[in-house]
Every structure is written in structure tokens, then in C-alpha cells.
């Protein structure tokens, strides 16, 4: 599912749903996907979304605040 891949790639739990004109007509959440998918697939998505990014890890190691 494209939405699931986008969530994993960009580490987000919600994505906007837009119409042909690019207007936001709703939001799709990880919980919405969880109702449709098998538990093991939902677990993989959650694991990917929850991975710390490299900038957060480096900032934590150096004691600096991470930029998002």
C-alpha cells in the first residue's frame, strides 16, 4: 500500500489525503491502516516509523538539540 510506504519512508504516523486539486480532504493515520492490515505488517510499519533518525542520534551523542 502506497500510504504505508510513505509513512515508513518519511517516519510519519499520519498523512493528508488530497483531491485532484491538491486540497486536503482528510487524514489517514497509522490506526486506520492497522484496522485494514495484518498485525505483522502493522508491526513492521510501526517499527519503521519509530526508528530514530541519524540526526537525532548524532545530536543526542553530542548533547546538542536535534533539528527536525
Task: Summarize pLDDT for 8-54 with one digit per residue, the tens.
Answer: 788 888 999 999 999 999 999 988 888 877 777 777 777 777 777 65
- Best-predicted range by mean pLDDT among 40-44, 57-61, 64-68? 40-44
Is residue 68, in this structure, part of any structural domain at all? no
The pLDDT confidence band at residue 62, using thresholds 50, 70 and 90, is: low
The grid coordinates listed for 43 are 508491526
State residue 66's pLDDT score.
47
Which of 44, 42, 66 is closest to 55 using CA atoms? 66
Is residue 67, in this structure, part of any structural domain at all? no
- Rounded to two decimals, the pTM is 0.54
**How many domains does the chain fold into?**
1
- Residue range of the domain that includes 9: 2-62
Amino acid at each position: 500500500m502506497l500510504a504505508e510506504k510513505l509513512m515508513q519512508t518519511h517516519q510519519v504516523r499520519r498523512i493528508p489525503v488530497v483531491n485532484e486539486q491538491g486540497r486536503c480532504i482528510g487524514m489517514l493515520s497509522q490506526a486506520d491502516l492497522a484496522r485494514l492490515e495484518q498485525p505483522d505488517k502493522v508491526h513492521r510499519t510501526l517499527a519503521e516509523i519509530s526508528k530514530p533518525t541519524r540526526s537525532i542520534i548524532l545530536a543526542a551523542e553530542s548533547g546538542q538539540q536535534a533539528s527536525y
